Structure 1
Amino acid sequence: MTGHAVKPEPLVTIDGVAKRFGGRMALDGLSAVVMPGRVTGLVGPDGAGKTTLIRLIAGLLKPSAGAVTVCGFDSIADGEDVRGVVGYMPQRFGLYEDLTVAENLTLHADLRAVTGGDRAAAFQRLLGFTGLEPFRGRLAGALSGGMKQKLGLACTLIRPPRLLLLDEPSVGVDPLSRRELWRMVYELVDQGIGVLWSTAYLDEAERCQSVMLLNEGRLLHSGDPTDLTRRMEGRSFVMRGLDTAGKRGALAEAQKRPDVVDALIQGRSLRLVMREGASAPVGAGAVEPVRPRFEDAFVSLLRTSGGDHAATGVVPSITATAPAADEGGFPVEAVDLTRRFGDFTAVDRVSFMVRRAEIFGLLGPNGAGKSTTFKMLCGLLPMTSGTARLAGISLAHAPALARARLGYMSQKFSLYPDLSVRQNLDFFAGAYGLAGGVRRAAVARMIDGFGLRPFVGSDAGELPLGFKQRLALACAIMHEPAILFLDEPTSGVDPLTRREFWAHINAMAGQGVTVLVTTHFMDEAEYCDRVGIVYRGAIIAMDSPDALKESARDAGLPDPTLEDAFIRLIERHDRARETA
């Protein structure tokens, strides 16, 4: 049989696997393989069954039906053998934040019985591989989000596995750190390690050599992601040349049309994906066909598979009327905003103003100072120096009055998990001073507007992630604030829920609410009217998304994405500092 390459054996064989938790079917009859020497993407919305499948492969759960074979071992009968060949990094990796980088590595080396010279060699290899050598004495709790993920990966690789399971490793990680994670993972693939990477980031799915697309426990597609993308030829369009009001109006109209599968704002443009067989869209701007993306195929498949929890993108109407007192001025003003923690300057003389009904985004790497800036503007953290005004009211002179004009949704779920949905809404209504009929009407409006009625008696902590985010936003806006602060509001949320979430935000901006948002999703930043790039505590660039992309355009990058612009601006800033 000379001249014929030997086809490698699968690392994982999933044969008719089902998993039931009580009355809920988490996985339903899955059959697929994971091959060695490649990255296989495990893609699907919140609750699709991704984590359940990974835990079955790792031998941590027993299937209700079917079988999982890992490197020739049965995942249950040969559990010890499976754990010897698999490295598993769960969503919430168990780093000890009060231990240093080196101490965390030492603990995991002890657990995996890596000793003596092997341990010293592993530490040298992993600290160099992840770039953590200069930080080996730093507490894990003091690392940025991206550095924590790198340390988590290093701990998982103390003993090199044949199969690496990564459960959404880049959630909440900035684009620079995400690129570093991908670089490291492909170095591992070059060494022959197979990787299963679970993700809700659709641009990451395009980087995988194979994908498994899950929805509601069923496998919708398995294979090369380009096979799925090719099916979308002739269905993706961009409507260009829209102003702020025009793009929001066009988005609202598109979301009502049955022939539109997906609609996304991209700077001054609107990206549209049409149903199969539909004619090209017609609108206020110039319409032109564009190359389809995996995201187009992903959303189209979910919305035609019978399991779409966001229907065609239409969401219930949420009314929010901003008070007219701030018309003619700037609802948000920050002048030389500075915050120091001891000798460390987290925010360094940040200044910007946000217009009424504007969506203003703050982007930056982990630890850049975005959340610190937000907390100062919300009155949750005192300023070291500088001034801030909300709706014309000084935070220094009347903080309570200023805070009454804003709604705030924090980066981490901040509701009361042991209270029901209705009890959380009632509590926040009381905290905002709503009483009597006004309070009852506000609670009812939020329940109906965000589709929470089936969950009104459920504890908030038991809600699916997407519904937790709905509830958090409802609690933030029920008093109809003039200003809305959203700190990474959709981190970890699936793409359909993010679209629904942004439909609410755009509707509120259209009704006069001023919105400030931090995000790691570059497509979310495209929704913003203006974006400020925050790096090392300072704003290094501020403009519209289209203008920022234009600043990165050159012969080598003729059609830059916002992520390209983000990274180039940071690289230019670093080079300027080095030569100064």
Structure 2
Amino acid sequence: MTGPLVTIDDITCRFGKRTALQGICADIAPGQVTGLVGPDGAGKTTLIRLIAGLLRPHSGHITVCGFDSVGQAEAIHGVVGYMPQRFGLYEDLTVAENLNLNADLRAVTGQERSQAFERLLGFTGLAPFTKRLAGALSGGMKQKLGLACTLIRPPRLLLLDEPSVGVDPLSRRELWRMVHELVDQGIGVLWSTAYLDEAERCGSVLLLNDGKLLNSGAPRGMTDRISGRTFVVRGLDPAGKRLVLDRARQRVGVIDALIQGRNIRLVMAEGAAAPTANELEAGADAAVEPVRPRFEDAFVSLLRGQGLTSNTGALPQGRTSETPPGDPDAVVEARDLTRRFGSFTAVDRISFAVRRAEIFGLLGPNGAGKSTTFKMLCGLLPITSGTARLTGLSLAEAPALARARLGYMSQKFSLYPDLSVQQNLEFFAGAYGLSGRTRREAVGGMKEGFGLEPFAASNAGELPLGFKQRLALACAIMHGPAILFLDEPTSGVDPLTRREFWSHINAMAGQGVTVLVTTHFMDEAEYCDRVGIVYGGVMIATASPDDLKEQARTPDLPDPSLEDAFIRLIERHDRDRKAAA
């Protein structure tokens, strides 16, 4: 085709009283990856299902490869491949059985089926795993199997709905390589994502927020708009960088400020001059330097320009951390931590310590052992051998006392969806042993500090995602924990909500709370003071984000990102292990 693969003309779609998409107009071109970018709830999945002919719009028209999405939906199903969220797999079937089922559904038989399987198993590297249950695959392998099932019959248009959510950087990079191979074969791709760094890898981007199309076109077009408005403050004293961050956020003209390793990144309003190091009281060695803008910088600038804000107030003061005095290097301590499941060793003698008021990130590929390590430290999973201590208390010898010192926020919304916001707060206050005036002040402080008062009577399950995150964090910290465990805390939220969330986390660290966080967002890992990378059940590196990037620096990669460092360190570990074998 010489024209667009997809033409979207003034599409509106509603679910009950909620408008999921409003007045969307856009084209999707062949021969490239088009990014469908935006936070959870922006309308990405709804738009993909409309394009696939699986939903009908309330108004407007969509044409896909020359077919009308309403009147010719069956024809569209024959030329479009669609991989839904979570890859659309049957986890109780093997790799081969999933492929056979999808071949049956698409009437791919005989020699055509054999050739398709041979091509796809070679393309994805899954040939050695055909007898393995899909549910037993790693996240990256599930991702590849989902793609293979979608490509049983090569489509003209491939729709990928958040294919990289919850998978590690290695798997993300491998998927991008495979998708670009498909584009080289003439397949057009629409890639939906909440990862804003992925937008910069696309030929064109459709940027959605709250059901509206904010921008379309090449990602460079957005970043060019804020050229000359992005800066980094270097040379900071690590102990004082959060104070400098607070000063930067309070300055007129600064529309975004966030920690980036040892540095602070600033985005200025149009026409505003960047503050000097002296104005920020950043220290004698500090300097403010211009840097290249990122897509996320442009997105935040666009949202701020529309008057959108977030609740970035200080941490609610209903309760404060009660970290006991003692060794500042042993608030969280793991020594030779090991966990076996039968004959399989998931975590093998991991040791590290986290200091008081430190933000420590635990990173690793899917299946590497980081979640198992996290759960052992939280007391959610028994330890096979080794020791874990929280504020000096052994999880083995005094588990109840140790767990009382921590707050935990899980990756999935784990509160009671059928209880109101008020009822959830009251329940968790009681569970943490708060009563009387202390309980009333804690619940009131959480509602006020996190902007939850207008939703007090609303069921938690009906809250927008950002407010669910606020409520989950409020329930985790209302008892004033010394240690806070955060498991993928901002997955899928918009950049303003993510900044709000980290504003609270930085405030807590400033008050002496120790924070452990797992994340797949490499830019988010830059908010941490130190990062530990778990791979193959062992800790292969522990350092600050900047030190990890320095370890990955080479003549051909003079300015590595944290994702580059993550991948280089894993590749180096594999080479060293192979050489020692």
What range describes the TM-score normalised by the shorter chain of this pair? over 0.9
Q: Distance in 2 between matches of 1:154 and 1:529?
A: 40
Distance 1:126 1:455, change over 3 A: farther
2:217 equivalent among 215, 223, 239: 223
Task: Describe the superposition over 1:160-200 as per-residue Cα deviations: whole angstroms up to 9, x where unpaired.
Answer: 11111111111111100000111111111111111111111
Residues 1:380 and 2:374 aligned together? no
Q: How many residues align?
A: 571
Partner of 2:98: 104
- Give the superposition deviation at 1:224: 0.8
Q: Distance in 2 between matches of 1:467 and 1:92?
A: 24
Structure 1 residues 298-309: aligned runs within 5 Å: 298-306=299-307, 308-309=308-309
Partner of 2:116: 122
Task: Describe the superposition over 1:524-566 as per-residue Cα deviations: whole angstroms up to 9, x where unpaired.
Answer: 1111111111100100011111111111111111111111111
Does the 8 Å CA contact 2:314/2:503 hold for their aligned counterparts?
A: no
Q: Distance in 1 between matches of 2:56 and 2:309?
A: 28
Q: Distance in 1 between matches of 2:394 and 2:290?
A: 49
Q: Secondary structure at the match of 2:560?
A: coil
Does the 8 Å CA contact 1:172/1:492 hold for their aligned counterparts?
A: no
Structure 1 residues 258-407: aligned runs within 5 Å: 258-282=252-276, 283=280, 284=282, 285-306=286-307, 308-310=308-310, 314-319=312-317, 321-329=320-328, 330-407=330-407
Does the 8 Å CA contact 2:85/2:161 hold for their aligned counterparts?
A: yes
Task: Describe the superposition over 1:274-313 as per-residue Cα deviations: whole angstroms up to 9, x where unpaired.
Answer: 000001222212101111111111111121124x2527xx
Q: Distance in 2 between matches of 1:105 and 1:252?
A: 53
Partner of 2:462: 462
After TM superposition, the structure 1 stretch with the greater mean CA deviation from structure 2, 489-498 or 396-405, is: 489-498
Residues 1:16 and 2:10 aligned together? yes
Taking structure 1 as the reference length, the TM-score comes to 0.96
- Give the superposition deviation at 1:147: 1.5
Partner of 2:412: 412
After TM superposition, the structure 1 stretch with the greater mean CA deviation from structure 2, 160-169 or 106-115, is: 106-115
After TM superposition, the structure 1 stretch with the greater mean CA deviation from structure 2, 136-145 or 188-197, is: 136-145
Letter in 2 for 1:299: V
Partner of 1:497: 497
- Give the superposition deviation at 1:328: 3.0
Q: Distance in 2 between matches of 1:150 and 1:455?
A: 41
Does the 8 Å CA contact 2:314/2:507 hold for their aligned counterparts?
A: no
Task: Describe the superposition over 1:295-350 as per-residue Cα deviations: whole angstroms up to 9, x where unpaired.
Answer: 111111121124x2527xx3353235221414434111100000001111100000
Percent identity between the two aligned chains: 77
Residues 1:202 and 2:196 aligned together? yes
Residues 1:160 and 2:173 aligned together? no
Q: Distance in 1 between matches of 2:452 and 2:120?
A: 46
Taking structure 2 as the reference length, the TM-score comes to 0.96
1:89 equivalent among 80, 83, 107: 83
1:41 equivalent among 22, 35, 58: 35
Letter in 1 for 2:403: R
Q: Secondary structure at the match of 2:292?
A: coil
- Give the superposition deviation at 1:101: 1.4
Q: Distance in 2 between matches of 1:49 and 1:258?
A: 33
Partner of 1:3: none
Q: Distance in 1 between matches of 2:512 and 2:358?
A: 8
Letter in 2 for 1:359: I
Task: Describe the superposition over 1:485-533 as per-residue Cα deviations: whole angstroms up to 9, x where unpaired.
Answer: 1111122222222111111111100000000111111111111111111
Q: Distance in 2 between matches of 1:258 and 1:216?
A: 27
Letter in 2 for 1:497: T
Q: Secondary structure at the match of 1:397?
A: coil
Partner of 2:251: 257
Residues 1:557 and 2:557 aligned together? yes
Letter in 2 for 1:257: R
- Give the superposition deviation at 1:20: 2.3
Does the 8 Å CA contact 2:87/2:147 hold for their aligned counterparts?
A: no
Letter in 2 for 1:315: G
Q: Secondary structure at the match of 1:93?
A: helix
- Give the superposition deviation at 1:233: 1.1
Does the 8 Å CA contact 1:379/1:395 hold for their aligned counterparts?
A: yes
Partner of 1:4: none
Partner of 1:536: 536
Residues 1:70 and 2:57 aligned together? no
Q: Distance in 2 between matches of 1:204 and 1:485?
A: 27
Residues 1:483 and 2:477 aligned together? no
After TM superposition, the structure 1 stretch with the greater mean CA deviation from structure 2, 30-39 or 210-219, is: 210-219
After TM superposition, the structure 1 stretch with the greater mean CA deviation from structure 2, 420-429 or 378-387, is: 420-429
Residues 1:425 and 2:425 aligned together? yes
Letter in 2 for 1:556: D
Letter in 1 for 2:544: S
- Give the superposition deviation at 1:369: 0.6
1:233 equivalent among 227, 237, 243: 227
Q: Secondary structure at the match of 1:255?
A: helix
C-alpha RMSD over aligned residues? 1.5
1:140 equivalent among 116, 126, 134: 134
Q: Distance in 2 between matches of 1:324 and 1:480?
A: 9
Letter in 1 for 2:208: L
After TM superposition, the structure 1 stretch with the greater mean CA deviation from structure 2, 476-485 or 323-332, is: 323-332
Q: Could you list the runs of 5+ residues in structure 2 that have no partner in the other structure?
A: none
Q: Secondary structure at the match of 1:428?
A: helix
Letter in 2 for 1:49: G
- Give the superposition deviation at 1:22: 2.7
Letter in 2 for 1:302: L
Q: Distance in 2 between matches of 1:54 and 1:122?
A: 25
Q: Secondary structure at the match of 2:86?
A: coil
Structure 1 residues 435-450: aligned runs within 5 Å: 435-450=435-450
Q: Secondary structure at the match of 1:542?
A: strand
Partner of 2:453: 453
- Give the superposition deviation at 1:137: 1.4
Q: Distance in 1 between matches of 2:202 and 2:215?
A: 14
Partner of 1:519: 519
Does the 8 Å CA contact 1:245/1:510 hold for their aligned counterparts?
A: no
- Give the superposition deviation at 1:395: 0.6
Q: Distance in 2 between matches of 1:450 and 1:132?
A: 46
Letter in 1 for 2:160: L
Q: Distance in 1 between matches of 2:86 and 2:459?
A: 22
Q: Distance in 1 between matches of 2:372 and 2:43?
A: 35
